[in-house]
Amino acid sequence: MGQQRAPEDEICVIWCQQIGAWWGPDARGYVTQLKDAGRFPRDVAIRLCAGAVLAAEAGELPEMPVRLVDVVSIITGYEMMTGNRTWGQWR
């Protein structure tokens, strides 16, 4: 389901707010390490997360699609500002 080909800047990972973990590959289970998270085309990630919103209470966003390039940009910025390279191990 989730491991389809898509342009690099359209690949998403999904963060589960309630569990505090990433969705696993093929939308099965949860993982705590970004390197182990499932990769989903943006349209698939949005569709999966929209289904979760339907099941949640009004105003909640229990699942969030995040573009992988944005996560990498945030991590790179953090590493540059702090000199802390511990996040780099996920790549």
- Per residue of the chain (91 residues), give pLDDT as tens: 545 566 777 899 999 988 899 999 999 999 999 899 999 999 999 999 887 766 656 666 778 899 998 888 877 776 777 777 765 555 4
Q: What is the pTM of this model?
A: 0.76
- Looking up tokens 């999966």 gives 48
Q: Are 42 and 14 in contact (CB under 8 A)?
A: no
Residue 22 neighbours by CB distance under 10 Å: 22
DSSP for the chain? -------GGGEEEEEETTTTEEEPGGG-SEESSGGGS--EEHHHHHHHHHHHHHHSPTT---EEEEEHHHHHHHHHHHHHHH---GGGGG-
